[in-house]
Structure 1
């Protein structure tokens, strides 16, 4: 009886644990890092928790891809990857973005490949979009990010 009661209490405690924020895994050059969100909000992109210390750092050599794995709650929502990089001459390039992934075709992984083989990745940001939409200064409609997972690239040789 005592053993059953202990198991029951442990199960109840596990069920009452606060839900954890989803993590994104970044993988490059044989190394992987799990990153918690630097910002995570409710579905309306409000009531946000911010943790700038959650950003991860990973070494990525020029021209090398970064593989990104997301959990089901991201894969089955609207999300994309935004990244910054420099060309082989060290000149900053315009930030680029992957296509938008949606719940209609869940995507659990994405491989980020830079435009040219000598480009150097600087940062990667996985953005999960919420239900809120805003109008930009150009009159276009933009989804507001609900969550962001940031990877800073260590590009020392």
Structure 2
């Protein structure tokens, strides 16, 4: 809701702190669920084991890509928040380890096609992190959650292209 409110940075962060769901947040949830559903339906022609592997990879890719929103970033708000625990607090070694383990899991479960989709996901999530940093001055717990959901969605869409 805050990102698409076309307000000043402080007001965006205030809107994002509000726990109530707004119009843009609701639309984003609907768009995300519909897109993931359509992507899975498009992949349903695959063997059950390969489809299971790809769906497992989507979860791994989304959570692994979140590291790109945490490492080397700063927390957008003053004070405490759930995102402040992670954002800018992980080391280069921890980030690299997470990325390598995520890539290994995706490679084992989904093969080359899944690794190519993961590379696309990483590029897109890194661009999303830069977008958030530009508009919000950093990251929040909300941007971490958005990056995870977008990572899963982008991974599933990328599987259709590669």
How high is the TM-score relative to the length of structure 1?
Answer: 0.27
Larger RCO (alpha carbons 8 Å, 6+ apart)? 2
How high is the TM-score relative to the length of structure 2?
Answer: 0.27
